[in-house]
A and B are shown apart, each in its own frame.
Chain A
């Protein structure tokens, strides 16, 4: 069974259709990259998966469960209680474009906060695990520093460790390298690549074509709120079938 099932999802925002009937399945262990021009709806789709955005029509299931909604007796979806949604979100990691590390907490505290507060883990156990995770992203020496004392690449690696501390079964990445200086992109991509190699299920919105080409199992091309093409990277990059994909890749290649 697919870990993530997206069925005919529609979303309107500010009077325009952001998502227009998206369907997509992601299997456990799969790495899917979402590509598309800005405004194609890829970030919105990602944010719908853990219910940071509501959806207007259709449904999204993670591990067989709706997130943010419950099905009523009449078969219609209604908003779920906050506590239940929160518990489901706890198992879905998210990494943001602008890192969003908690500014008043050290790197270590950023990683221990949710395990202690949400999972009820003991501070000692959370601390040990956080130090392991920080070591795994190469930042064990930065544990006591505050976010503004870290480079963008280091902040994003802490953010990845913070998400992993919740032992997620799915990781969502929203343009994780777009806010980074070019020389810092590599260290974050390397961390993500190791995560993918370890078997993590990942959905990644990115403009890093080399990452998509080398790490993704499947690349999904979005345009105007729809999936126009989904294929393994070698196929999509070498022989794009859809004119929108061809135009997008031509623009990207020209820009590089």
Chain B
């Protein structure tokens, strides 16, 4: 194997990957924001007393978890314009971000739903008995306790999303990986280019991990609040 160290360092220290890295980070943030919003809506629907809402949440979950995300990405970029007679023809960046966000929303629905049901039902009951309305009990009592369960896996989803954005190379979004493919298709330095691409992803995941740790520390700062009410049944 011949490792062209000059090419490697040239690419590593060039500015070629700065915009793509920002693009990757931006797509990750926007797609996750969309996913978290969808996740809250989906979790509320899944836990609601209204049967059609539960059914809707069920279908959303089943569909988006069941279809490969790459298929969804190409669908949004290539199939939607055909389907709508070009009425909807989104730029690759936007189509890709929507596809990632919608897909991730299904996973966030499950994470948020399980956070909500982990809170002892007695907490909501006590809130209701004190005269809180349903939304008040959710916002003031249930959600703050659920968040401590929801935040750690959500951090992991952020990191997973950062890496999944590389699939957008399929619709030529100028993110890190597709930028790399453009470079090695011209100079054929596959190893050197992919090494640089990997370093960029590692740097960004390290950044997100640091943020994740800081957020978790913050949530844990009032350390004694981390402990949750244990459902009565488990105590007997």
Contact = CB atoms under 8 A, between A and B. Distances in A.
Nearest to A172: B129
Contacts of A88: 131
A117 B123 contact: no
Interface residues of A, number: 36
Interface string A108-150: 0000011001110000000000000000000000000011110
A148 B223 CA distance: 12
B147 to A, nearest CB: 9
B126 A117 contact: no
Interface stretch (B27-35, B109-117, B187-195, B224-232): B224-232
A104 interface: yes
B138 to A, nearest CB: 12
Contacts of A104: 141, 144-145, 148, 225
A151 interface: no
B195 to A, nearest CB: 46
Contact of A86 (B122, B133, B224): B133
B131 A162 contact: no
B10 interface: no
Interface residues of B, number: 26
B179 to A, nearest CB: 45
Interface in B93-132: 120, 122-123, 125-132
A114 B131 contact: yes
B131 A100 contact: no
Interface string B136-150: 100011001100100
B134 interface: yes
A24 interface: no
Nearest to B129: A94
A98 interface: yes
A1 interface: no
B126 A166 contact: no
A73 interface: no
26 contacts: A52-B129, A83-B133, A86-B128, A87-B131, A89-B129, A89-B131, A91-B131, A94-B129, A100-B125, A100-B126, A101-B229, A102-B229, A103-B145, A103-B227, A103-B228, A103-B229, A104-B148, A105-B225, A114-B132, A117-B136, A118-B132, A118-B136, A119-B131, A146-B224, A162-B130, A166-B131
Interface of B: 120, 122-123, 125-134, 136, 140-141, 144-145, 148, 224-225, 227-229, 232, 235
